[in-house]
Structure 1
Amino acid sequence: MKIGELARLAGCPVETVRYYEREQLLPAAIRDQNNNYRHYDKRHLEQLVFIRRCRSLEMTHDEIRELLAARSQPDAGCSAIDGLIQAHLEHVRTRMAELQALEAELNDLRGRCDAARATRHCGILHELDHQAPPAREPTAAHGSHVAGRLHGSDVSGSV
Structure 2
Amino acid sequence: MNAFTIGKVARATGVSVETIRFYERRGLIAQPNRPKDGSARDYDVETVARLRFIRHAKDIGFSLAEVAELLALRDDRSAGCATVRAQAISKRRDIKDKLEKLKGMRDLLDDLIAACPGEGHLSECTILEAMESDRG
TM-score band w.r.t. shorter chain: 0.7 to 0.9
Report the residue type matching 1:21 in the other structure: E
Instruction: Give runs of aligned pairs for residues 14-93 of structure 1, distance below 5 A.
Output: 14-35=17-38, 37-74=40-77, 76-93=79-96
Structure 1, residues 80-113: CA drift from partner, whole Å, max 9, x if none? 0011111111111111111011111111111221
* Structure 1 gap ranges (5+): 135-159
Between the aligned partners of 2:135 and 2:40, the Cα distance in structure 1 is 53
From the superposition, tell whether residues 119 and 24 of structure 1 become closer, same or farther in structure 2 (CA, over 3 Å).
Answer: same
From the superposition, tell whether residues 55 and 112 of structure 1 become closer, same or farther in structure 2 (CA, over 3 Å).
Answer: same
TM-score calculated relative to the size of structure 1 = 0.75
Between the aligned partners of 2:31 and 2:37, the Cα distance in structure 1 is 17
TM-score calculated relative to the size of structure 2 = 0.87
Q: Which residue of 2 aligns with 1:10?
A: 13
Find runs of 4+ consecutive structure 1 residues off by over 3 angstroms: 73-76
For these two proteins, the number of residue pairs brought into alignment is 133
What is the CA distance between 1:36 and its match in structure 2? 6.0
Structure possessing the higher relative contact order (Cα contacts under 8 Å, 6 or more residues apart) = 1
Identical-pair percentage: 29
Contact persistence 1:30–1:40 (CA under 8 A): no
Contact persistence 1:51–1:64 (CA under 8 A): yes
Between the aligned partners of 1:37 and 1:58, the Cα distance in structure 2 is 33
Q: Find the partner of 2:134 among 98, 110, 132.
A: 132
Larger helix proportion of the pair: 2
Between the aligned partners of 2:127 and 2:135, the Cα distance in structure 1 is 14
Between the aligned partners of 1:17 and 1:101, the Cα distance in structure 2 is 36
Between the aligned partners of 1:123 and 1:133, the Cα distance in structure 2 is 12
What is the CA distance between 1:119 and its match in structure 2? 2.6
Q: Report the RMSD for the aligned CA atoms in angstroms.
A: 1.8
